[in-house]
Structure 1
């Protein structure tokens, strides 16, 4: 092997190692953490308000599969995934699926937002307390968006930190 090819092979090896290290760090940082033992019961006991101030009890969603999405109007990936969640809600509600958005935001910002992009699923105001709720449900960084899938029996089946994809939703639809 010529010196030039040896140097190129060395650079390729260094680049591959750097890519593998970066992927490992990303996996570690964005993997969901454990769900705290009391978190599921606390979630189902929760009552929040919708953007207009009407009460939304999480208990009204029990008994059917539920996708809970923590989002905010100031979060670009959150805003990007909302039309996909609207479509999931429309396509899967006939199969028993429910979707609820928990806005980690100000009610006035959410009211303005839903006038521009109407959401066909219920939205409740989680406010800053939504970050702590998402942490108890396995989101150690409190980052947004964060999605939790509950089965019909009320247990957490799946969680994802970051923007959901069509493939995620198709996979989760099989869990319910």
Structure 2
């Protein structure tokens, strides 16, 4: 932060008396406004806008794209093939702590609502080595399909997935009805998906 410096004023006798720091009207705020570089202010605003765009969910995609999903078991499915059923897409990584923490909740959700028509597909991030993903899934006994996204096309198809975990809830017609960045609120997910399940909402 800028500091006030003493100002020397030469007198007729050659001495250099010092004057006390003067403060302009408006106080520190006015001082900072006068001293702030417009370029610095612009850079700060741009940085904040970038951060917000990075963290907040993007609403550019309203309908789930019919992108192919290469699964660990060697099959490739398209989201179009899953139309007619409620679907959860979970972007995750085995090295992501919150992703691992929410895994038991997703497993319970799948086992509870799967018999009523819910589909759940987890999509590993492009930086995840396929062997590491395969080992994690086998050791943890993940019961739902897991897709690899080696070239980043799946994440890109959903307007770019920048933060994980990110979960998308998709209705049977392919509309994205909810998107959450961070650990999924399982109770909320149940409420949102309930109308799309066989036999309707639980009594």
**Secondary structure, in 3 states, of the residue corresponding to 1:109?**
helix
**Moved >3 Å (runs of 4+):** 26-31
Aligned length: 143
Larger Rg: 2
- 2:100 aligned to 59, 76, 79, which one? 79
**Secondary structure, in 3 states, of the residue corresponding to 1:33?**
coil
Task: Return the TM-score normalized by structure 1.
Answer: 0.71
Residues 73-120 of structure 1 deviation map (CA, whole Å, 9 limit, x = unaligned): 111111111111111011011222111111112211111101211111
Could you say which residue in structure 2 is the equivalent of 1:66?
Answer: 87
Contact 2:93 / 2:99 at 8 angstroms: preserved in 1?
yes
Name the CA distance, whole Å, in 2 between partners of 1:132 and 1:98: 21
Could you say which residue in structure 1 is the equivalent of 2:148?
Answer: 125
Could you say which residue in structure 2 is the equivalent of 1:47?
Answer: 68
- 1:34 aligned to 47, 59, 83, which one? 59
Name the CA distance, whole Å, in 1 between partners of 2:195 and 2:72: 30
Contact 1:50 / 1:125 at 8 angstroms: preserved in 2?
yes
Q: Which runs of 5+ in 2 are unaligned?
A: 1-50, 197-203
Structure with the larger RCO, 1 or 2 (CA within 8 Å, 6+ apart): 1
Name the CA distance, whole Å, in 2 between partners of 1:175 and 1:128: 35
Cα distance change, pair 123–156 in 1 and its aligned pair in 2 (3 A): same
**Secondary structure, in 3 states, of the residue corresponding to 1:174?**
helix
Name the CA distance, whole Å, in 2 between partners of 1:71 and 1:146: 7
Residues 45-84 of structure 1 deviation map (CA, whole Å, 9 limit, x = unaligned): x223212433233222111110100011111111111111
Task: Return the TM-score normalized by structure 2.
Answer: 0.62
